[in-house]
Amino acid sequence: MADLSDFAPGPLPRDARVYVAGHRGLVGSAVWRNLEREGFTNLVGRSSSELDLRDRAEVDGFFEHERPDVVIDAAAKVGGIVANSTYPADFLSDNLRIQTNILDAAARTGTTRLLFLGSSCIYPRLADQPISEDSLLTGALEPTNDAYAIAKIAGIIHVQALRRQFGVHYISAMPTNLYGPGDNFHPKNSHVIPGMVRRFHEARVSGAPTVTCWGSGRPLREFLFVDDLASACLFLLENYDGPETVNVGVGDDLSIRDLASTVAAVVGYEGSIEWDSSKPDGTPRKLLDVSRINSLGWSASTGLSDGLTAMYEWYLAHLDEARG
């Protein structure tokens, strides 16, 4: 193991043994790419077929064997509004087990630094905008994804509890809505941007005159390119050590209607866009206050159009293997 016994915020040793939980997912794969770019030489990852993070005995055995210095927990059962509404028990149970097993095993086996990644859905549905970290647990959650949110809230409290009880240097961060290469393009269980990319691409290829999107198109959302989140993860591990969670976002938002127009333009779809207002909108607005991470010295660098272009190029290059 790398010598992190006297850790204070600053550069991590590039030979530190870093376990990226969920390294094949959207976030984990971006984190892995960024760590490789930054010169880390001792990365550890396991696929879900190799290690079931819901199984406490398997996770304990993995940590006992690998003894990672640093853990980035990007593992989670995730999905869009349909999946969250349809399988709430799965989202609650699976995520609670995944994060509890990782956090407990890390603390027990001496992991020095850990970053737990949550989601902006942890905040109240009608929180003041932009949403500050202090809004946590001050109001009712969005009912379409409350089970997932509760699991992630439990993870934040777990990190804080481990800090208080054992004095570990574990932190948590809450990214806004994410998109990018390696996303889930499933026609029903994807998030909004990959769902739109697939829908508009297929409509362009087939020559469909219209594309129907869910909801009214009025809700406002913030979107962060996943490679920007990856850079924020390393930045926080090297520059932040506190119990309060840290928001990670871009600091501005747009309507879903405007998002659809932007995605259509990037994909090259020129037909009309219709809206099915019988489908749920979800939270009216969700914009994160990113002043805390900005004050530490980090800010997002990828604009929406550039990020969407990179994502669509990846999708075209991986049509046969894009998930879903």
pLDDT at 145: 86
In a domain, 67, yes or no: yes
Q: Which residues are annotated as a binding site?
A: 22-28, 117-120, 152, 175-178, 191, 199, 214, 221, 281
Q: Which residues are annotated as a binding site for substrate?
A: 199, 214, 221, 281
In a domain, 154, yes or no: yes
pLDDT at 61: 98
Domain that holds residue 125: 18-180+223-252+286-302
In a domain, 192, yes or no: no
In a domain, 13, yes or no: no
In a domain, 22, yes or no: yes
Chain-wide mean pLDDT for the chain?
Answer: 93
> Is residue 289 over pLDDT 60?
yes
pLDDT at 188: 73
Q: Which residues are annotated as a binding site for NADP(+)?
A: 22-28, 117-120, 152, 175-178, 191
- When pLDDT is averaged across residues 53-80 and rounded to a whole number, the result is 94
pTM here is 0.92
Number of domain units in the chain:
1
pLDDT at 112: 95
In a domain, 126, yes or no: yes
In a domain, 276, yes or no: no
**Letter for the amino acid at 166?**
F
| CATH number for the domain that contains residue 124 | 3.40.50.720
pLDDT at 130: 97
Q: What is the pLDDT of residues 174-220, one digit of tens each?
A: 999 999 999 988 877 778 999 999 999 999 999 999 999 989 999 99
pLDDT band, very low/low/confident/very high, at 324 (cuts 50, 70, 90): low
In a domain, 121, yes or no: yes
Q: What is the pLDDT of residues 143-160, one digit of tens each?
A: 888 999 999 999 999 999
Task: List, by residue number, the catalytic residues.
Answer: 148
